[in-house]
């Protein structure tokens, strides 16, 4: 009888041993996956570092970004949802009037980002007013009285058509400070402010930004006045991180951007009490194919109470109303998902 009990005990111990081995195997496998997700090694991710240079003993970091989008957790689901949305809109062009959509989204807490068609090129148009502001503020860091310099406004023909007209206009013959002209340029996206700003700054200062950030300069002929949504997002990253302008000027720039009068794109998709610092751009090519004739873009930082994020959307299509609705829908969809996390 005791011999039989001994055999039963041995079988029980053996079964428990197998169960424990299996349990610890699954536990180890699961922990290994979680470790790779939350603590990715350099072998799994490539990075792009942009440094200022020009110093003997230091090499300041301006921007830091993984070269590939995040493939983890809820961002994967968000990317799939956005891709499905884009496929539906572009696939039903005759109904949507949309032919191209590019998206860049970055979680500003974790640094993880995703993109849809993020390397496709668009005409940035008025989006380029933001680097003009950054270049001006950069110059003002070393020239303390620069923003207080005044100039008498004389209207010059820019040759660029604006479909979204400024709500506020500069007055012919009136004197304005450079600081006020930059605000006019950004808040109202007023092309008339460009010429007087150029009189008090230089193209070299503007071109230096693209060189410093390692970006293609859209003003150079070989780049055909185009940018990608991912490249353009760099301007907002360096402002948010205060890594190119000093803290005072970075704060000033984002404050001015928060006063932008265009509220029918990304702004329309978020609650009214949530702050956004953004810049929009629009362009019409009357000689282009009808489904690529109009372009409308909006890019900015959405200050969600606990989960701020950067969102840039660039679009092409046949009418501005449809493009504007796309900006709103994408913004609303992303905010809802972020707020739900």
Predicted confidence (pLDDT) at residue 200 exceeds the cutoff of 50: yes
d(CA 129, CA 329): 25
Please name every residue paired with 298 in a beta bridge, in sequence order, or none if there are none: 280, 313
**Residues 289-301, mean pLDDT to the nearest whole number:** 92
Alpha helices in the chain (DSSP H): 2-38, 73-91, 93-96, 129-142, 178-187, 194-200, 203-213, 229-240, 247-257, 320-340
Structure token pair of residue 121 = 């090129």
Alpha helices in 92-191 (DSSP H): 93-96, 129-142, 178-187
Can you name the CATH fold of 74-340? Beta-lactamase (3.40.710)
Predicted confidence (pLDDT) at residue 293 exceeds the cutoff of 70: yes
- Which uninterrupted H or E stretch holds 227? strand 227-228
16 or 105, greater pLDDT: 105
Give pLDDT, residue 202: 87
In this prediction, residue 180 has a pLDDT band, given cuts at 50, 70 and 90, of very high
Give pLDDT, residue 326: 97
Structure token pair of residue 80 = 């799939």
**Residues 9-17, mean pLDDT to the nearest whole number:** 68
Query: Quick check: helix, strand or coil at residue 105?
Result: strand
Instruction: Give, in degrees to the nearest 5, the angle at Cα 178 between 175 and 181.
Output: 80
| Lowest-pLDDT range of 7-21, 30-44, 93-107, 270-284 | 30-44
Instruction: Give, in degrees to the nearest 5, the angle at Cα 148 between 147 and 152.
Output: 105
Predicted confidence (pLDDT) at residue 39 exceeds the cutoff of 60: no
Please name every residue paired with 215 in a beta bridge, in sequence order, or none if there are none: none
Alpha helices in 220-305 (DSSP H): 229-240, 247-257
Domain ranges of the chain: 1-39, 74-340
Q: Residues of the chain with pLDDT > 90: what percent?
A: 65
Model pTM score: 0.82
Predicted confidence (pLDDT) at residue 56 exceeds the cutoff of 70: no
| Lowest-pLDDT range of 68-72, 190-194, 220-224 | 68-72
Task: Match 């110093």 to its residue by tokens.
Answer: 55
CA 95 to mean position of chain CA atoms? 28
| Lowest-pLDDT range of 53-67, 121-135, 222-236 | 53-67
Task: Match 């984002």 to its residue by tokens.
Answer: 254
**Residues 147-174, mean pLDDT to the nearest whole number:** 86
Predicted confidence (pLDDT) at residue 43 exceeds the cutoff of 50: no
**Which residues lie below 8 Å from residue 157, measured CB to CB, with a gap of 6+?**
none
Give pLDDT, residue 70: 64
Structure token pair of residue 18 = 């197998």
Mean pLDDT, the chain, whole residue set: 87
In this prediction, residue 161 has a pLDDT band, given cuts at 50, 70 and 90, of confident
Highest averaged pLDDT of the listed ranges 61-65, 155-159, 264-268: 264-268
The pLDDT tens digits for 241-287 are: 999 999 999 999 999 999 999 999 999 999 999 999 999 999 998 88
- How do strand 294-302 and strand 309-317 relate by DSSP bridges? antiparallel
d(CA 48, CA 28): 33
Give pLDDT, residue 100: 96
């Amino acid at each position: 009888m005791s011999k039989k009990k001994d055999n039963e005990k041995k079988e029980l111990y053996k079964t428990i041993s197998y169960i424990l081995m299996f349990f610890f195997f699954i536990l180890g496998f699961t922990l290994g996956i979680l470790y790779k997700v939350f603590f990715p090694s350099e072998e799994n991710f490539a990075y792009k570092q942009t440094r200022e240079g020009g110093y003997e003993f230091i090499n300041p970091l301006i921007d830091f970004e993984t070269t590939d989008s995040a493939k983890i957790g809820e961002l994967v689901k968000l990317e799939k949802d956005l891709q499905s949305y884009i496929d539906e809109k572009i696939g039903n062009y005759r109904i949507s009037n949309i032919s191209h959509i590019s998206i860049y989204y970055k979680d500003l807490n974790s640094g993880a980002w995703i993109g849809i068609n993020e390397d496709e090129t668009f005409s940035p148009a008025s989006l380029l007013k933001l680097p003009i502001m950054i270049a001006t503020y950069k110059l003002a860091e070393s020239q303390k009285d620069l923003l207080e310099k005044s100039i008498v406004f004389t209207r010059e023909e820019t040759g660029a058509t604006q479909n979204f007209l400024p709500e506020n206009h500069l007055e012919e013959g009136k004197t304005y400070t450079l600081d006020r002209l930059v605000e006019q340029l950004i808040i109202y996206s007023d092309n008339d402010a460009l010429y007087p700003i150029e009189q008090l700054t230089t193209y070299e200062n503007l071109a230096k930004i693209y060189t410093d950030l390692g970006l293609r300069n859209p003003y150079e002929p070989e780049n055909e006045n185009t940018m990608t949504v991912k490249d353009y997002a760099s301007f907002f990253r360096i402002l948010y991180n205060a890594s190119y302008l000093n803290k005072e000027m970075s704060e000033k720039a984002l404050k001015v951007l928060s006063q932008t009068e265009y509220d029918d794109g990304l702004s329309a998709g978020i609650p009214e009490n949530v702050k956004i610092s953004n810049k929009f751009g629009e362009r019409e090519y009357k000689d282009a194919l009808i489904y690529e004739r109009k372009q409308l873009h909006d890019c900015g930082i959405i200050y969600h109470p606990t989960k701020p994020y950067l969102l840039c959307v660039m679009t092409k299509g046949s009418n501005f109303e449809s493009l504007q609705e796309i900006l709103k829908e994408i913004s609303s969809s992303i905010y809802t998902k972020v707020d739900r996390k």
